[in-house]
Structure 1
Amino acid sequence: MKTLTLLRHAKSGWNDTVTRDVDRPLNGKGKRAAAAVGKHWRGLGLAFDHVVASPALRVAETITHLVSGYGSDLAAVEDRRIYLASAVTLLDVIHDLPETAEHVLMIGHNPGLEDLVLMLVPDDSASDLRDTLEEKFPTASTAELTFDGAWAEVGADRAMLTRFIRPRDLDPALGPDLE
C-alpha cells in the first residue's frame, strides 16, 4: 500500500514588496503553524521515504519551520511542476514517483492540492474527513491518502483519505483570524 501525504505550504505574507509570487515568504503565523505541524507529525511517528516540493520560497520556508518541530531533515526534491499546479499536473508528478517509495510527502499549493484530493477520494457520505477538506484546505494543513497498487496507477476515486489535520486542530490560535 502506498501513502501520499499532501501538505499545503504555511501562511505566506502579502505585505512584502516582492515582485514575483514565487518569492513570497511566510508570515509569523505561518512559521508557527509549520513548526506545530512538524511537532505533531513527530508525535504521530510519521516518516517519509521521498519528499517532493514546489520551488516557491514559501514552500522552502515551510519545510525549514516544519523540520524545527519534526526534529528530522526532510531532504525535499524540488519539482517545478508543483508550483501553482492543477490537480491534473500534480497527478502527473505522482505517476512519476519512484516505485520504491512507499510513503511520499508532497508540499505545494492550492487550489491544486485540494482539487487533487477531491479527484482521488470518492465522494461518499461516510467520509467526514473529505467533507471537512472540501469546505476548505487551509494553509499548513495535512491530507494523508492511501492507495493500492503502483504510483503510475493512481487515478480518480482510487484513494482513501486517512487523515486531515489543520493547524487550528492543533492550536486554536493558528486558525482563521477573527475580525
Structure 2
Amino acid sequence: MKNIKTIHLIRHAKSSWDDPTLADRDRPLNPRGICTSRMMARPVHDAGCHFEQVFCSPAVRAQSTIELIHQSLPEIKFRWKTEKALYTFESDDVLRWCRKLDDEMSDIVIVGHNPALTDFCHQLSGVDLNNIPTCGYVKLVSVSPCQWKKINKKTFDLAVFLKPKRLMRTAD
C-alpha cells in the first residue's frame, strides 16, 4: 500500500573493549560480534528486510555489522549510506533524522546503537522490548499510510523482533 512505511532496526553486533585507548566510535567487533553478524543475515532477510535503503552509523562496529551481513547475503546486492546523525544514543535524534526522509522511500534500514534504537522502537510502537540486544533486529510497520515528517508516538506496529541468542538456541 502506498505510503505505508517500514523501518528495519539493526543494532550493531557485540563490540570489543580490548583496547581502552580507542575512541568509542572506533571500537571494532569482537569475535562473537563477527559470528553473530554473519548468522543474523539470513533470518533478517527472511523476516522481510530486503536492504533497499540502508543507513548506518559511522561507528566502526556498526559499519562492520552491515558489511558482514552484506557478505553473508551474496545474492543480495545492496549498498548503504553512512549517516553521522545515526551515531547517537538518543531516540529523539533518530526520530528527527527519520522525519527528514524523502517520502518516496517507504522501506528503510537503520544500523545503529542503543539505547537509541530500543527507545525509538518503544516510542513509535508503544511496545517495551526492554532491550534490543547486540545484532538484534526489529521490523516496524506503520499502522496506516503516513509521511515521514509526521511519524509520531504509536504510529507503528512491531511486526518482527529477532534476538540472536534465541536464534542460536533454535539452530542447535
| TM-score for both structures, normalised by structure 2 | 0.88
Check the 8 A contact 1:53/1:82 in 2, yes or no.
yes
Check the 8 A contact 1:53/1:79 in 2, yes or no.
yes
Shift of 1:96: 1.3
Q: State the SS of the aligned residue for 1:171.
A: helix
Q: State the SS of the aligned residue for 2:32.
A: helix
Aligned to 1:140: 135
Decide which of 60, 70, 76 is 1:57's aligned counterpart.
60
In the alignment, is residue 114 of structure 1 matched against residue 118 of structure 2? yes
What one-letter code is carried by the residue in structure 2 that aligns with 1:89? Answer: D
For structure 1, the 5+ residue unaligned runs are: 123-129, 175-179
In the alignment, is residue 31 of structure 1 matched against residue 34 of structure 2? yes
Aligned to 1:125: none
For structure 2, the 5+ residue unaligned runs are: none
CA distance in 2, matches of 1:62, 1:165: 15
State the identity %: 28
Aligned to 1:160: 157
CA distance in 2, matches of 1:42, 1:121: 21
What one-letter code is carried by the residue in structure 1 that aligns with 2:19? Answer: D
What one-letter code is carried by the residue in structure 1 that aligns with 2:134? Answer: T
| TM-score for both structures, normalised by structure 1 | 0.85
Decide which of 164, 167, 171 is 1:170's aligned counterpart.
167
Number of residue-to-residue matches in the alignment: 165
Shift of 1:48: 3.0
CA distance in 1, matches of 2:29, 2:166: 20
1:1-150 to 2 correspondence within 5 Å? 1-71=4-74, 72-122=76-126, 130-131=127-128, 133-134=129-130, 136-147=131-142, 148=144, 149-150=146-147
Moved over 3 A (4+): 42-45
RMSD of the alignment, in Å? 1.8
